Structure 1
């Protein structure tokens, strides 16, 4: 069994990853920007504080490189979010010690423009996309639209930056975005705003093809304006989706766990949104159904011939994040910020009934029988963090 360093520990799937690795017999350490995290309550070998890459990217990479050096260093590092994926590659750790994307695969995982090109070439439905940047005029856009940074993260002046998405409802918004692009080196993807339900296709890519398929459908977003899920249900990807996602993964040379985000519209078209090329937020749902993607990522890093056994999918089909569910209610109460969100805004009574519906502990994110009350601590931390903003 291996000693695995994971990070960033602030990432949404962190606790589920710890539980997966511990159950597989591994020792786990984590790196984070602070030690004031609920994850510190779990049986970690160590919780290492590294300089925040958002403040000093080089110091952060140098610190991680030092952590992975020496006789007592962890055997492997497993990135949990985009910042962690960038950091593990920036630290110049040997590729065979990274239980995640490296080299060109990591570049694609952090480049949404490259993902869009690969998805289109693989037959996935891709919204009409304009790549905008610099002084060039944006051109004609169909409203409403959304503009999102092409890089998942990027380094500017030695600071790791994650840009914000912008809703575009008219020419005035285009003018504002054009002014921002002229001052920045960040390209943006502009796509029509599609109404639909979020889905995810998960699996484990090997040289023999994709195995251990699974997926989710979003039931509620934490923030109905657009965010990660607060509740989701199991969904098996259909054969067409599986084939096109497989072609996409082959196109980019992907190996190991993956999550492809899709948006299914009223006509049934599953539009490609992006690839999550690291651990993803709804890992709890996969794990409850026997799909131990984090442990499998480590197993493949230790033995490239590893193939997971077919899981027993007997667990709950719906999983909820208690803290995010409570925040969902607050967002619903505040109401929509724009007219374009008003038509599909959730009814508070319906959301309240769904959030208050009783459920067993295993039906919540970050629940583990060996650490029964951890998910309550995580709930409190989630609420405190959100309400301080």
Structure 2
């Protein structure tokens, strides 16, 4: 299936990759995600870690430099992947989901490096290895970096040039001086999110947290160097301003189901003997692939789709469709179609 803009969906691209284990991992991630409580997937299960080095203490603030040390997991909730005793395949599939845009990393400054540590402020939103400008997390991190730059200018490095070229693997950030154990952590979350009140509440909380952080860092920067703030705002306005993509219209799930019925019915009429294999070839790449990716995953899809509903939402932009629930609907439809013709319910 394709999105409304004609581009292949994530599920279709996974089908083209011919890797059912990556599809399994996608569904497992959806089942693990809790936006309101965890901001994504539990950091005890999977997270990105950063080393820390003190830069300088000044007044009420402490500057820290954080460097990416890679991803880490304890396999909790991912036991089926650990059971294969092939961690290289697991991390390859994580990278594949990153490259496809199915998952993203939200970097946060946390009170310490423990999995349940409270998050202090967001630092960056990273997709496919690149910081997303204008995202709530990235704007907050840009102001944090600018505050750090004006608190510790000079030396042999132009702090503003360092900020302008900031890469996802290295950040210089400011924190309250009394927080001596702060850590930078990467929280994994799904890029496609459900249209639910839970998602709406999470987005509202995330926006409030980012705005509060921006206000605090802006006060620091303007107190230390108002001219520098104006210079940076003129130079890189997109880095310091929240931007929101236009909301996608709600998908008409009944229309999608009718379109799928029409495809299958047309094949039944033209070539009854080949109708199942041909349809599965078009959608999943063949009945073997479909059986691997749907039979093995059905219980997980059912549990995941329970939390991916499609209620009305007004304040959260949907980035891309279809999501896990779309796949669950499609899988259920294809299973119904595999029943013998004489036993199918009449519509």
TM range (shorter): under 0.3
TM-score, normalising length: structure 1: 0.23
Larger relative strand fraction: 1
TM-score, normalising length: structure 2: 0.25
Q: Please identify the structure whose Cα radius of gyration is greater.
A: 2
Looking at both structures, which has the greater relative contact order when contacts are Cα pairs under 8 Å and sequence separation is at least 6? 2
Larger relative helix fraction: 2
